[in-house]
Chains A and B, each alone.
Chain A
């Protein structure tokens, strides 16, 4: 997913705890998110969810499966 692109979350893979944390922060299937940027060398990924900005680790971001419109 390229920076600046919007997409809809279709699935959260990963363990229960992670799923739960992401969901409580507003990242859930059906939600539209925008990717802002990512950092080199498997660095963190920045996304915009609703009106907030969230930074998440590279592989954590990989567990958010999205559908690009």
Chain B
């Protein structure tokens, strides 16, 4: 009886795509090794039975070398062999390397079905695999699929029932490769082809000079596209909705309001010159939706569009190679750029992605750096929205400070923490061009995730803040923290409220600064402080889960200490 189905395979062979096809459960997939770092569960009907399907992180062998691989192998080891089926997903363009894990699985006596994925790409690259003869040699069902479009998935489900456990002699690594060599010779034919333009690009992006030029072009273009899309959504869509449709509605509501007491304060907020000001009123119906939908959401959309595109094309691992040298000085290696980039969207997935790094030390360094020096999209959107009015100089300044901090703290941690950083070892995937529908779906799920997670917290957050302000409960915190806020950072003492709110949500925190009428310098300092000080509560919880209490405390101390120094330094160093 089949009770569980495990999806296992080398990194970046499309396990998660197959999983989504089998179960209908949406999981993220990208074109780089290590997208899946935890496991996902879903259900599939096999005959009349409902069977649990588990998507595992990719692994090259049954002996793990990263935390993500550990997740895969330990889950597999815990399972009951007789009750589980393994769908071993293989990248058809690279059959030889993938067979190593396959043979290991069969030798261990698991019931295996092989899903020969990416068949379309293999055919394109002149790889011809004889599936029936592969089936005969291995003694397990082999089904060729193209999971992105769904070809072969039905057949795969049908043949799951046919499996029988394999039992072969265990081989040493060297013997296994000899065996694989023989298999490849009899089942795979390579048609010689000329280098395609795509392959030329692939090679150019991993050569030092051309790679560097390409990376500068890609980063510059990405930045421009993010700004272009974000600004256009704001000026063409969200601002007209807020100012031409929503505000007149609110104004009518506000003017018909007789007694402007507690509820008025909570929902509409303060009137600025007798009018509703989305940026300064601070009401649950005014500033809260404007921050989330009018300022942050447009950039969330544009950022994730560009990130998803880069992920699916397969550019990120190439960026990792170029940055390997620099990141080594921070105790990391090139791959760490991927969690960092994800962190620019939201720190939570960024920190989760550090699981694909090998050592605990690297994970600590990467997580700490992400929470200090990598501002998430909502925070960045607010910084652009607010500080942008004073000119690009200040916005650039925030990034410059954060970037320098990343380098300095990274170098210090690398020098002081025990242990050494492991070396870079990463498979570089070929470029792939995702169908637009696939890209659109991923973008949709990311944006939906943002709305579900952020909007309730923002609305509740603004409500709670308003209640606290209304009943003057912040006064206590304001007065005890005044020496630090005023004396060291040069900010008005009310700014502490924003720093506290930063623990819940960074975008709302910047929103709290808006009515204070800060000077450019003060705004610059407080925005920078919001980025480096405590991460928001969601990030905090993930840090606790990933690092454990002791390392979390260590990491937090570094953040507090850095905030104090930087806040003071900026205050006294900037004259104007």
Binding site for B on A (CB under 8 A): 3, 17, 20-26, 28-31, 36-44, 46, 49-60
Chain B residue numbers with a CB within 8 Å of A20 are 61, 63, 65, 173
Set A17, A25, A31, A39: member contacting B324, Cβ < 8 A? A39
A43-B325 in contact (CB<8A): yes
Q: Does B251 contact A (CB under 8 A)?
A: no
Q: Does B410 contact A (CB under 8 A)?
A: no
Chain A residue numbers with a CB within 8 Å of B430 are 53
Chain B residue numbers with a CB within 8 Å of A59 are 423
Q: Does B203 contact A (CB under 8 A)?
A: yes
Chain B residue numbers with a CB within 8 Å of A46 are 206, 321, 428
Chain B residue numbers with a CB within 8 Å of A24 are 60-61, 63, 100-101, 173
Complex CA–CA separation, A50 to B95 (angstroms): 9
Q: Chain A binding site: helix, strand, loop or mixed by DSSP?
A: mixed
Complex CA–CA separation, A21 to B66 (angstroms): 11
Q: Does B207 contact A (CB under 8 A)?
A: yes
Complex CA–CA separation, A21 to B64 (angstroms): 9
With CB as the reference atom, state the residue of chain A lying closest to B422.
A57
B423-A36 in contact (CB<8A): no
Complex CA–CA separation, A43 to B329 (angstroms): 12
Chain A residue numbers with a CB within 8 Å of B425 are 21-22, 25, 54-57, 60
With CB as the reference atom, state the residue of chain B lying closest to A40.
B208
* 8 Å CB interface, B302-318 against A: 317
A52-B207 in contact (CB<8A): no
Chain A residue numbers with a CB within 8 Å of B551 are none
Q: Does B320 contact A (CB under 8 A)?
A: yes
Q: Chain B binding site: helix, strand, loop or mixed by DSSP?
A: helix
B325-A56 in contact (CB<8A): no
Nearest 3 CB-CB pairs, A to B? A57-B423, A24-B61, A26-B97
A50-B208 in contact (CB<8A): no
Chain B residue numbers with a CB within 8 Å of A43 are 208, 324-325
B321-A44 in contact (CB<8A): yes
With CB as the reference atom, state the residue of chain B lying closest to A41.
B325
Complex CA–CA separation, A38 to B100 (angstroms): 27
Q: Does B427 contact A (CB under 8 A)?
A: yes
Number of chain B residues whose Cβ lies closer than 8 Å to a Cβ of chain A: 35
In the assembled complex, 18 residue pairs joining A and B whose CB atoms fall closer than 8 Å, in A order, are A20-B65, A26-B177, A28-B177, A37-B206, A40-B208, A46-B206, A46-B321, A51-B93, A51-B94, A52-B94, A52-B427, A52-B428, A55-B324, A55-B425, A55-B426, A55-B428, A56-B424, A60-B425
Q: Does B265 contact A (CB under 8 A)?
A: no
Q: What 1/0 mask marks residues of chain B from 201 to 218 whose CB sits below 8 Å from any chain A CB?
A: 011001110000000000
Binding site for A on B (CB under 8 A): 60-61, 63, 65, 93-94, 96-97, 100-101, 125, 127, 173-174, 177, 202-203, 206-208, 317, 320-322, 324-325, 333-334, 423-428, 430
Complex CA–CA separation, A52 to B317 (angstroms): 13
Chain B residue numbers with a CB within 8 Å of A31 are 177
B94-A50 in contact (CB<8A): yes
Q: From residue B12, how far is it (CB to closest CB) to chain A in Å? A: 10
Q: From residue A17, how far is it (CB to closest CB) to chain B in Å? A: 7
Known: A37-B207, A52-B97, A56-B426. 11 other contacts (CB 8 A): A3-B207, A20-B61, A21-B65, A24-B101, A31-B177, A36-B203, A38-B208, A44-B424, A51-B125, A53-B202, A54-B426
Complex CA–CA separation, A34 to B202 (angstroms): 15
Complex CA–CA separation, A5 to B423 (angstroms): 23
Chain A residue numbers with a CB within 8 Å of B206 are 36-37, 46, 53, 55
Chain A residue numbers with a CB within 8 Å of B100 are 23-24, 26
Complex CA–CA separation, A43 to B207 (angstroms): 12
Chain B residue numbers with a CB within 8 Å of A21 are 60, 65, 425
With CB as the reference atom, state the residue of chain B lying closest to A61.
B423
With CB as the reference atom, state the residue of chain A lying closest to B203.
A36
Q: From residue B423, how far is it (CB to closest CB) to chain A in Å? A: 3
A28-B428 in contact (CB<8A): no
